[in-house]
Amino acid sequence: MPEKVLTKNFDMEHLFKIDVYMKKGGYKILSNVLKKLKPEDVLKEVKAAHLRGRGGAGFPAGVKWGFVPKEVDKPKYLCVNADEGEPGTFKDRYIMSHNPHMLLEGIVITCYCVGIHTAFIYIRGEYENIAQRLEKAISEAEEKGFAGKNILKTGFDLNIYVHRGAGAYICGEETALLESLEGKRGNPRLKPPFPAAIGLFQSPTVINNVETLSNIPHIMNKGADWFVKQGISEDGGTRIFGVSGKVKKPGIYELPIGTSLKELIFNHAGGMKSNKKLKAVIPGGMSSPILKPDEIDIPMDCESLMKADSMLGSGAVIVLDEDVPIIEVLRKITQFYSHESCGQCTPCRIGNSWIHKTVTRIYYGRGKKGDLDNIEKLASNMLGRTLCPLGDAAAMPILAVVKKFRKELEAELKGSGR
């Protein structure tokens, strides 16, 4: 079994309490960093670790921090994206509920590195009890002097706030998250300017995923070289894969980046449920294009999946077996995106609803010749032409499903009698 990094002590009782976390060596690195290292050293280390964002886009975290201007007369902010809305994804909730202090430690180090004194954790509205646990953890950390005013008597201040979302998928998009945090309707902003320059309350802002930030204490603890070695591929570290669907042991699996998808499903997750045949795998949350069984012998890292025209996304693996009708999958995808489109820009607003209407018609056996071509045309009209990545996130899986399962869908056109 490969070494676990983030989920190492997850089976310990009461790890979410600060005493237990500290007993396991927690917050030691923080005091090392604050007392001995300069912010530049931290940035250098994180850049060297090849830590890519764990939220979906896979943007290198160190580079992102580097974009924030050093000398500004405005306050800078950190927003922790804990909106975990991608269907199939359930990794951040485990981190936050089992080991909230690891996240907080990561937040404090990050803020120290970028020079931030206010951090917001934008948490998915449904995670009510986790939000409470986080708030408890923050007050514990403040009591012990790991957060709040004058952290560890080094003169560094950081206030951490928990902000609960109201249940919109689009608010996981970084600029929509900022709008929502400002108290407005969660609509994405036009980029550029990027949040690193003009973000929350018109100030420079860093936005990172929970899992990304949770890696920071470990990088600072054991060094960038060690971290890079944790991954099989070029990217540093491990990934927490959330496996769901028709497997024997669904759940979260922390594995080195670059572990093969086949190994993940058949070795770690115990293989197919009731020994059915594998039909398809969605490798990185619903917005990642679907893979057929002959494509799953692939290392789970950003580059390899990109080459296979898919993406690692949030690392949520959804496994489908032979019993799953593909039209049902397609309908769920289109339903989700047409429901979650914010309605701001034309292609996403109308494209998604149009495709969903057509797919629903096919689902109920009223498909027509040419429907599939039309779906492909509409999806490619959305691809790359929307205001935010949601349009792409919707178009890509739809295009992949139609392309890879065209025969089965064409049979549906003739009417399945549902």
Partner 1 sequence: MVEMFINDQPIKVKEGITVLKAAEKAGIHIPHICYHEAFPPEGNCRMCLVEIEGHLCLELACATQVKEGMKVYTDTENVIEARKGVLEFLLAEHPMDCPICDKAGECTLQDYYEEYGLFESSFQEEKERKDKKVNIGKGLILDQERCVLCTRCVRFLRDITKTNELGVFNRGVHSEIGVYDNQLIENNYAGNLVELCPVGAITDRDFRFKTRSWFLEKGASICPLCSRGCQIFIEYHPGFARFEVPKRVYRVTSRVTSREESQKEKGFWICDIGRYGYSYMDKDRAETIIQKEQDLSGDKEKTVKNIDKKIKKLIYRNKLERMGVILNSWLTNEELFLAKKIFAWDLKLKKVYFPEPAQGEKDDLLLAEDRTPNKKGAEEIGFSFDRINQEELFENTELLIVFWSSPFELGTISELTPPLNKVQTKILFTPFKRKWNDLFDMVIPTAVSAEKGGSFANCDGKIQHFGPVLSPPGEAQAEWKWLVSLGKEIGIDFKSYARMWSPLDVYKSIKDKIKFFRT
Which residues contact partner 1 (rule: CB under 8 A)? 168, 185, 187, 190, 338-347, 349-354, 357-358, 361, 368, 370, 374, 377, 381, 384-387
* Cα–Cα distance measured from residue 318 to residue 83, given in angstroms and rounded to the nearest whole number: 19
Minimum CB distance to partner 1, residue 173 (Å): 13
Q: Do the beta carbons of residue 95 and residue 102 sit within 8 Å?
A: yes
Minimum CB distance to partner 1, residue 380 (Å): 8
DSSP state of 211: H
Residue number with CB closer to partner 1 (45 or 371): 371
The amino acid present at 47, given as its one-letter code, is K
Q: How far apart, in Å, are the Cα atoms of 406 and each of 282, 330, 371, 379?
A: 17, 12, 11, 15
DSSP state of 341: -
Q: How far apart, in Å, are the Cα atoms of 277 and each of 246, 281, 295, 321, 400?
A: 10, 12, 15, 6, 20
Minimum CB distance to partner 1, residue 279 (Å): 28
* Cα–Cα distance measured from residue 342 to residue 175, given in angstroms and rounded to the nearest whole number: 13
Minimum CB distance to partner 1, residue 370 (Å): 8
Residue number with CB closer to partner 1 (288 or 334): 334
Residue number with CB closer to partner 1 (248 or 339): 339
Residue number with CB closer to partner 1 (114 or 382): 382
Minimum CB distance to partner 1, residue 368 (Å): 7
Q: Do the beta carbons of residue 175 and residue 202 sit within 8 Å?
A: no
Minimum CB distance to partner 1, residue 418 (Å): 18
Apex 309 CA angle, 305 and 310, nearest 5: 55
Residue number with CB closer to partner 1 (266 or 364): 364
Residue in the block written with tokens 């960093």: 33
Identify how many contiguous H helices and E strands the chain contains and give both numbers: 17, 9
Minimum CB distance to partner 1, residue 350 (Å): 4
Residue number with CB closer to partner 1 (361 or 414): 361
Q: Do the beta carbons of residue 314 and residue 148 sit within 8 Å?
A: no
Residue number with CB closer to partner 1 (114 or 394): 394
Closest CA to 56 of 24, 92, 25: 92
Radius of gyration of the chain (CA): 22
Q: How far apart, in Å, are the Cα atoms of 54 and each of 48, 208, 241?
A: 17, 8, 11
Minimum CB distance to partner 1, residue 229 (Å): 33
Apex 219 CA angle, 215 and 223, nearest 5: 165
Residue number with CB closer to partner 1 (134 or 355): 355
* Cα–Cα distance measured from residue 209 to residue 204, given in angstroms and rounded to the nearest whole number: 17
Closest CA to 377 of 401, 397, 357, 351: 351
Residue number with CB closer to partner 1 (320 or 379): 379
Minimum CB distance to partner 1, residue 130 (Å): 25
Minimum CB distance to partner 1, residue 384 (Å): 4
Residue number with CB closer to partner 1 (77 or 354): 354
Residue number with CB closer to partner 1 (43 or 170): 170
Q: How far apart, in Å, are the Cα atoms of 314 and each of 27, 44, 68, 292, 301?
A: 27, 25, 24, 19, 11
Minimum CB distance to partner 1, residue 201 (Å): 17
